[in-house]
């Protein structure tokens, strides 16, 4: 095991400090996890908004969808 591992708060701070876009931050966290550089028990969760691609097919009028 490496001598130093990042915890979730440190990863979040690093991503914010580097001003990384979502895709790059996901890649960074994934690579750190692959190299066992994350603190044991740290979970990296990414939220996706896949439904946004389908918003164009829906309309709302008078409270009806």
Residue 51 lies in a domain: no
Domain membership flag for residue 55: no
Residue 62 placed within a domain: no
Question: Could you tell me how far CA 35 lies from the centroid of its own chain?
Answer: 18
Residue 37 lies in a domain: yes
**Higher-confidence position of 44 and 29:** 29
Q: How many domains does the chain have?
A: 1
Domain assignment of residue 32, yes or no: yes
Average pLDDT over residues 9-32: 88
Confidence (pTM): 0.59
Residue 19 lies in a domain: yes
Residue 24 falls inside a structural domain: yes
Is 6 a domain residue?
A: no
C-beta pairs of 46-51 under 8 Å, 24+ apart in sequence: 46/22
What is the band of 17 on the pLDDT scale with cuts at 50, 70, 90?
A: very high
Structural domain range at position 32: 11-46
pLDDT above 90 covers a percentage of the chain that reads: 8
- pLDDT of 46 > 70? The answer is no
Query: 16 or 53: which carries more pLDDT confidence?
Result: 16
């Amino acid at each position: 095991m490496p001598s130093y591992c990042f915890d979730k708060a440190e990863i979040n701070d690093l991503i914010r400090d580097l001003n990384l876009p979502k895709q790059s931050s996901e890649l960074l966290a994934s690579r750190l996890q692959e190299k066992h550089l994350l603190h044991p028990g740290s979970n990296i969760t990414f939220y996706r908004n896949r439904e946004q691609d389908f918003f164009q097919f829906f309309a709302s009028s008078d409270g009806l969808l």
